[in-house]
Amino acid sequence: MKRRQIIQLIAAKDLRIERHSRVVANQILPFAGVTMVMFGFALDSSDVLERVAPGLVWLATLFSLLVLVQRTFAIETDDGALDALRVAGVDPVAIFWGKALALAVQLAVLEVVLLGAALVLYGAEMHVGGVLLLVTTLVAATCGLAAVGTLYGGLAAGFKGRETLLPLLVFPVVAPVLIGATRAVESALGTAGAAVSEGWPWVGLLAVFAVAFGVGGSLAFGPLVDE
Amino acid sequence: MPAHGTRIRSLALGGIRHVFSVAAERFGELCDVRLLPPAMDGNPRTVIELDDAVAVLGGFPALAGATLAVGAGEIVLLRGPNGAGKTSLLRLCAGLLPIVRGSGRVLGFDLATERDAIRPRVGLLGHSNGLYADLTVAENVGFWGSTVGATTGEIRAALERLGLAGRLADVRVRTLSAGQRRRTALACVVARRAELWLLDEPHAGLDADGRDELDAVLRQAAASGATIVVASHELERAGSLATRTVDVVAGQIAEQQ
Amino acid sequence: MTMIDQDPLPPRASTSGTTATRATRLLGLATIMSMAWLVAFGLGFSPADRDQEEAVRILYVHVPTIWIAYLAFVVTALGSAIYLFGRNHSLGFDRLAGASAEIGVAFVAATLVVGSLWGRLTWGVFWRWDARLTTTALLFVSYIGYVAVRRLGGSHHQRARRSAVIGLLAVLEIPLVHWSVRLWRSLHQEATVLDPGGDIDMDGLMLFSLFVGVVSFTLLYVWLLMHRTRSMAMEDLLDEQGLDVALEARRAEASGR
Amino acid sequence: MEDAGFIVGSYVVTFAMVALVAWRFVRHGRRLAKQVPDDEKYWL
């Protein structure tokens, strides 16, 4: 079986499980939405909210990323499927990319919902010039977050303390994405007079981050998951 | 849920298919049609060879020097109390548990260095079945079969072999009984064309005819060249199935009959 | 039945009750002497700086701490790489990486505290979103994560492999974090008059004090590393011996039946 | 010279950390060394 086929197989399996169980749609998306509302309570003044809307979108994304990653590995460890995948000698790089792909798809949906919520709740405006920058930022950030989430999720998957270990490991690593994505989206939305052209260096950073942790993830996932 | 009318039709279809599959199975046995891949070039070589193997589980020597040899086509029963090391022995042979001292070869591959080569050829059915609760039986078996590129025909054959081709095929694993899950996990092993079956308490949770059916499948798999190692408590039931019985005590192999 | 009465481990003398040797005692002495010099010069003999007057004295301690923190993490990364990609996967390098990381975490903590004290004097504020300071803070959290991962259990080689991967990933993260924070801070163009680090032009006695500081802390680092790696070697040994004792006990249990 | 408090404070903080880490390592080493026979200590 070529690696590409196994990657598609595993990604399709994850997405089909989501279609059957609807956990992301019924639990994680509402959680992300309510987080945005809670941010609204905390910051209460509307012009502050409008100014920090991009930052809040990506903060809510990071919190949801943790819950998503725990879910995507819970389905594997509930009945020892990850163990079984390793027993079956399925290539760990394919497992990494398969799960990262499925995670990226779910994360992308989540980000679009959060962005919509920000436009509605926080009164942030979209203007046409920034759309291309916005889309590339979303894609680059999603790839980076999916790679890091799958990698550290795999490490914490087999161990008791994983609920507390995952945030500790993931947050310092995704700091550049939080900074980069927020600044890029600020430029895209033109918040506080940021010009669209200022956003592109940040997209460069996000792209380098995604490539670095994509490669790093492929190499590191096997040893991390192995018994 | 499909409308009421279609349910009756799918049940009928399932029934007919079941009759055909039973007939196919009888016919298969008559002219010895191999439903499983032919064993590796047929010579009775040893599939498992352990020499004083030690394996550690979190600092505790689950295996404290096990020596064992299993030939192709054999059905070996591992007998022993809980915690004697039966499960660790199976996980060691499956290439999951690293060997700490001593040496061993499974399917001709060295346990210390070539663990990865062993894994695709082994079907380990441990306490957990390795299934996805939210997927249906057919989807689970299909997924595991596709990891080795099995055709839909092979996957359907695996389902039929375990009596899962009928109504059960489209049921979520979450709603299955323990016995049905066990049969689904076995179907996944068949779909993955595994040559060495390492089964940990496969009879647990099955009712009487469920066990007979399982024994039939195991005997047929062994006849088709698979080597089976069963760890079990039920002495009388599994005894009749196994070609050889091995006692595991405190992480070591005691006497063998 | 003689197995049970005999003491499982032959009683061998353990005369030297410490990880110290003549070498470490000499090194320790040298460290203490050079530290005394550092304090004498840092607080006493060296002149005040033109711009920040007395505050420069903090740097004689602060800069060496930063230097050791980053040196420790480089050693951790090197140890991890050598363990992972080395031929014989020797656990010695894994222990070196672990010991160095533990030392590094302690020094980064000191760096952050002393850095904020120094910031209070020179910038008038305890914390500044400065690229170097922020990167150091994130590094602190990453290596606390690394140390937490080391305690996850499993066999020594599993621990070593897992920690090595996390150690190397943490290094991969440093440039990314530093680049993103610097790019971010460049948006707010307030001039950074004084960077915490040797960017200030020092000469004569001040430079000498700084040099004594770096030397003494490097000696200290090596001293700490030697002691810690020896303790960790003994920890693994006791795990291993625990294994022998347990092995003996299991074998006794088996033969005793 | 209210800076003196900060300056001396920095030295105290740093050397306190150094002393704490050094003492913990040596004490831990001493406790382990009692249980390990001499011929297994690679540094002797």
- Taking the Cβ of residue C257 and every Cβ of chain B, the question of whether any pair is shorter than 8 Å is answered with yes
Among A1, A17, A75, beta carbon nearest to B147: A1
From the candidates A86, A148, A155, which should be mutated to test the interface with C, based on the most C CB atoms within 10 A?
A: A155
Q: Least CA distance to B58: which residue of chain A? A: A227
Residue B2 and residue B86 in one domain? no
Q: Is the pLDDT of residue C191 over 60?
A: no
CB contact under 8 A, A172 and C173: yes
Residue B17 and residue B68 in one domain? no
- Taking the Cβ of residue A9 and every Cβ of chain B, the question of whether any pair is shorter than 8 Å is answered with yes
Alpha-carbon torsion angle A21, A24, A30, A36, nearest 10 = 170
Between the ranges A48-57, B96-105, C33-42, C45-54, where is the mean pLDDT highest? A48-57
pLDDT at residue B12, as a whole number: 60
Q: Is residue B64 part of a domain?
A: yes
Chain C residues within 8 A of D43 when measuring between CB atoms: 19, 21, 226, 230
Task: Based on DSSP, count helices (H) and strands (E) in chain A, helices before strands.
Answer: 9, 0
- A179 and A141 in contact (C-beta within 8 Å)? no
Residue B98 and residue B195 in one domain? yes
- What's the pTM? 0.80
Residue B54 and residue B25 in one domain? no
Evaluated on CA atoms B158, B163, B166, B170, the torsion sign reads negative
CB contact under 8 A, A89 and B129: no
The answer to whether ipTM exceeds 0.85 is: no
Q: How confident is the model at residue C192 (pLDDT cuts 50, 70, 90)?
A: very low
Q: What's the CATH fold of domain C21-189+200-226?
A: Four Helix Bundle (Hemerythrin (Met), subunit A) (1.20.120)
pLDDT at residue C195, as a whole number: 47
Crossing angle, helix A131-157 and helix A46-77, to 10 degrees? Answer: 40
- Taking the Cβ of residue D2 and every Cβ of chain C, the question of whether any pair is shorter than 8 Å is answered with no
Which residue numbers of A have CB closer than 8 Å to C's CBs? 151, 155, 159, 161, 165, 168-169, 171-173, 175-176, 179-180, 183, 201-202, 205, 208-209, 212-213, 216, 220, 223-224, 226-227
Residue B9 and residue B132 in one domain? no
Among C141, C153, C177, beta carbon nearest to A176: C177
Buried-exposed string C109-138: b where 16+ CB fall within 10 A, e elsewhere: bbbbbbbbbbbbbbbeeeebebbbbbbbbb
Chain A residues within 8 A of B139 when measuring between CB atoms: 13, 16
pLDDT at residue C248, as a whole number: 77
pLDDT digits (tens, 9 = 90+) for C203-226: 777 888 888 899 999 999 999 999
- Taking the Cβ of residue C256 and every Cβ of chain B, the question of whether any pair is shorter than 8 Å is answered with no
The domain limits of chain C are: 21-189+200-226
| Average predicted confidence (pLDDT) for chain B | 78
pLDDT at residue B143, as a whole number: 94
For range B93-106, the mean pLDDT: 85
CB contact under 8 A, A223 and C142: no
Structural domain count of chain B:
2
pLDDT at residue A171, as a whole number: 94
Q: Is the pLDDT of residue C189 over 90?
A: no
pLDDT digits (tens, 9 = 90+) for C100-158: 999 999 999 999 999 888 888 888 888 888 788 888 899 999 999 999 989 887 778 88
From the candidates D1, D3, D10, D30, which should be mutated to test the interface with C, based on the most C CB atoms within 10 A?
A: D10
Q: Is the pLDDT of residue C50 over 80?
A: no
CB contact under 8 A, D6 and C238: no
Chain A residues within 8 A of B148 when measuring between CB atoms: 1, 88
Q: How confident is the model at residue B15 (pLDDT cuts 50, 70, 90)?
A: low
Q: How confident is the model at residue B181 (pLDDT cuts 50, 70, 90)?
A: confident
pLDDT at residue B40, as a whole number: 42
pLDDT at residue B14, as a whole number: 60
> Would strands B60-71 and B46-57 be described as parallel, antiparallel, or unpaired?
antiparallel
pLDDT at residue B33, as a whole number: 35
Domain CATH for B124: 3.40.50.300
From the candidates D8, D36, D44, which should be mutated to test the interface with C, based on the most C CB atoms within 10 A?
A: D36
pLDDT at residue C8, as a whole number: 45
CB contact under 8 A, C106 and D21: yes
Q: Is residue B12 part of a domain?
A: yes
Q: Least CA distance to C143: which residue of chain A? A: A169
Contacts of A2 (CB under 8 A, 6+ apart): none
Q: Is residue B102 part of a domain?
A: yes
What is the token pair recorded at B90?
């199976």
Residue B60 and residue B183 in one domain? yes
pLDDT at residue A4, as a whole number: 92
Q: Is the pLDDT of residue C197 over 60?
A: no
User: By CB neighbour count within 10 A (0-12 exposed, 13-18 middle, 19+ buried), where does C241 fall?
Assistant: middle
DSSP, residue by residue, C28-54: HHHHHHHHHHHHIIIIIISPPBTTTBT
pLDDT digits (tens, 9 = 90+) for B193-237: 888 999 888 877 777 777 777 788 788 888 877 899 988 876 665
Chain C residues within 8 A of D42 when measuring between CB atoms: 233
pLDDT at residue D7, as a whole number: 87
| Average predicted confidence (pLDDT) for chain C | 81
CB contact under 8 A, A87 and B148: no
From the candidates B67, B99, B113, B252, which should be mutated to test the interface with C, based on the most C CB atoms within 10 A?
A: B252
CB contact under 8 A, B119 and A16: no
- Could you list the mean pLDDT of each consecutive 10-residue stretch along chain A, which spans 227 residues? 90 94 91 92 86 93 94 89 84 94 96 92 82 93 96 80 84 94 90 81 94 92 78
Chain D residues within 8 A of C110 when measuring between CB atoms: 13-14, 17-18
Residue B80 and residue B183 in one domain? yes
Q: Is the pLDDT of residue C4 over 50?
A: no
Residue B16 and residue B119 in one domain? no
pLDDT digits (tens, 9 = 90+) for B24-33: 544 444 433 3
CB contact under 8 A, D40 and C237: yes
What percent of chain B lies above the pLDDT cut of 90? 11
Position with higher pLDDT, B24 vs C47: C47
Residue B210 and residue B108 in one domain? yes
DSSP, residue by residue, B124-147: EE-SS----TTSBHHHHHHHHHHT
pLDDT at residue B136, as a whole number: 93
From the candidates C105, C180, C187, C189, which should be mutated to test the interface with A, based on the most A CB atoms within 10 A?
A: C180
Dist. CA C224–CA C235, nearest whole Å: 16
Residue B11 and residue B122 in one domain? no
Chain B residues within 8 A of C3 when measuring between CB atoms: none
Q: Is residue B221 part of a domain?
A: yes
pLDDT at residue A208, as a whole number: 94
pLDDT digits (tens, 9 = 90+) for C228-248: 999 999 888 887 777 777 777
**How many angstroms away from the CA of B209 is the closest CA of chain A?**
25
